[in-house]
Amino acid sequence: MLVICNEKKIFHNNVKEAINAIKSNKYDLAYRCLKAAMFENDHSAEVYNLLGIISEYKGDVSLACKYYGAALVFDPTYKPSDNNLEKLTSFFYIFNEKSIDYGDNNEIEHQNSYFIEYNEMHVGHLKKNE
């Protein structure tokens, strides 16, 4: 059990270090950190999302799309890759550092989210969260 906890800690430390390296434009260091993280978990959506971000920074949009897509294959619910892929495949795409989702902040659900409320006849109605 202790080994599993240490592996998770090593993985998350490598991911955090990679994020910091990407933000500092140290892509070679980020690659090394992500490679080390892949030894711990080679099916991590976080790692592939960050590889996509590095590709996007380097201007290789096609490779970035592939990495974001791979991240979604490993975890279809991983929102940062979904956000990055949606932005990247937009018709009006322009590279913007501020719009990149690293996945390092805990996402709070959007204030404009909706839910389905069922009435007594089991008919669902879309309601807005308040």
pLDDT at 4 over 60: no
130: in domain: no
Q: What is the mean pLDDT of residues 93-111?
A: 75
Look up the domain containing 53 and give its range.
2-101
Which three-class secondary structure string do you get for the chain? CHHHHHHHHHHHHHHHHHHHHHHCCCHHHHHHHHHHHHHHCCCCHHHHHHHHHHHHHCCCHHHHHHHHHHHHHHCCCCHHHHHHHHHHCCCCCCCCHHHCCCCCCCCCCCCCCEEEEECCCCCEEEEECC
Q: Which residues touch 70 (CB under 8 Å, ≥6 apart)?
A: 48
61: in domain: yes
Residues 46-97: pLDDT tens digits? Answer: 999 999 999 999 999 999 999 999 999 999 999 999 999 999 998 888 888 8
Q: How far apart are CA 21 and CA 8, in angstroms?
A: 20
Q: What is the CATH number of the domain that holds 6?
A: 1.25.40.10
18: in domain: yes
111: in domain: no
Q: Which residues touch 51 (CB under 8 Å, ≥6 apart)?
A: 34, 67
109: in domain: no
120: in domain: no
Is the pTM above the cut of 0.85?
A: no
pLDDT at 110 over 80: no
108: in domain: no
Q: What is the reported pLDDT for 125? A: 81
Q: What is the reported pLDDT for 5? A: 56
**Are 109 and 86 in contact, with CB atoms under 8 Å apart?**
no
pLDDT at 112 over 70: no
| Number of structural domains found in the chain | 1
11: in domain: yes
Q: Which of 15, 9, 3 is nearest to 71 (CA)?
A: 15
